[in-house]
Amino acid sequence: MSGHERSRHASSRPEPGQPVTRNTDANHELSIRVRDLNLWYGQSQALKNVNIDIYQKNVTALIGPSGCGKSTFLRCLNRMNDLIPNVRVEGLVEMDGRDVNAPKMDEVALRRRVGMVFQKPNPFPKSIYDNVVYAPRMHDLVSRKAEQDELVEKALRDAGLWEEVKDKLQEPGTSLSGGQQQRLCIARAIAVQPDVILMDEPTSALDPISTATIEDLMDKLKQQFTIITVTHNMQQAARVADYTAFFHLGEIIEYNDTKTMFANPAVKKTEDYITGRYG
């Protein structure tokens, strides 16, 4: 590492004592860097001095009691909060070194790079095929029919849904079961080859078998994508996440690799939460 790189590296670390500092696995490339992020809805502050480094091609789980700011934080990563009136954001969100909130940042391009999967599966009222190909067509990633067919098959295979739907691609996405619909939404998200996939409680509306399927899928997808997922299920966080951040009242209380955090939480509040003593 050159002297310049070292100083830049060092200066990118927040002051000791801030939760982000512990998670510095040198083998992982940085995907998202957040510094001193504050967010207000009108007068009410929902995120307070959030600092975190999120690493590429890992699963990072966000946990914490209802209303602590997990969804708000996720929406800062692809500027979905812009769509909500009276939101004020301060601080830095960098993705691959580029300031997400810079005026010249193209929001459409940003949302292509940062896909999102919601709690309730929400396929478009279109065929299974068109659900997957809609965004790639919009972004001019495919034109010829053969290319589109190939992309649809690949995305559905990667989402673990191909075998179940290959003979009914023209049926409505909404005709699938809840778990299948969620995998369709994942196929739709990965069809544009994003860098990052945000998942906001992706399994909380699903049965245990569909949940296990999605958890397995996350494990496979992290080879290609950076995944940030919100969950209220501590076992799920422990199973799927390489890193976990514990949010409380808009702040990150603790952030670490999941094994360490669950085996040996540094902060009492984290321990109380993950052992179910509150929240």
Ligand X SMILES: Nc1ncnc2c1ncn2[C@@H]1O[C@H](COP(=O)(O)OP(=O)(O)OP(=O)(O)O)[C@@H](O)[C@H]1O
Q: Under a CB-based contact definition with an 8 Å cutoff, are residues 225 and 57 in contact?
A: yes
Comparing CB distances to ligand X, the nearer of 71 and 226 is: 71
Comparing CB distances to ligand X, the nearer of 48 and 154 is: 48
66 in contact with ligand X (CB under 6 A): yes
Residue 95 CB contacts under 8 Å (≥ 6 apart), including other chains: 31, 32, 77, 110, 113, 114, 195, 196
Residue 241 interacts with, from ligand X, Mg ion, none (CB under 5-8 Å by kind): none
| Torsions phi, psi for 253 (to 5 deg) | -85, -40
194 in contact with ligand X (CB under 6 A): no
Q: How near is the Cβ of 86 to ligand X at its closest, in Å?
A: 7
2 in contact with ligand X (CB under 6 A): no
The one among 23, 71, 182, 270 contacting ligand X by CB under 6 A: 71
72 in contact with Mg ion (CB under 5 A): no
Q: How near is the Cβ of 218 to ligand X at its closest, in Å?
A: 19
Comparing CB distances to ligand X, the nearer of 84 and 102 is: 84
71 in contact with Mg ion (CB under 5 A): yes
Q: Helix crossing, 128-138 with 145-158: angle to 10°?
A: 110
Distance between CA 199 and CA 203 in Å, rounded?
9
Distance between CA 131 and CA 11 in Å, rounded?
44
Residues 84-103, interacting with ligand X (CB under 6 A): 84
Residues 15-44, interacting with ligand X (CB under 6 A): 41
Residue 68 interacts with, from Mg ion, ligand X, none (CB under 5-8 Å by kind): ligand X
Residue 190 vs residues 71, 153, 201, 234: alpha-carbon distances, Å: 20, 12, 17, 26
231 in contact with Mg ion (CB under 5 A): no
Each residue of 232-262: b (16+ CB within 10 Å) or e?
Answer: ebbebbbbbbbbbbbbbebbbbbbbbbeebb
Binding residues (CB under 6 A) for ligand X: these are: 41, 46, 64, 66-72, 84
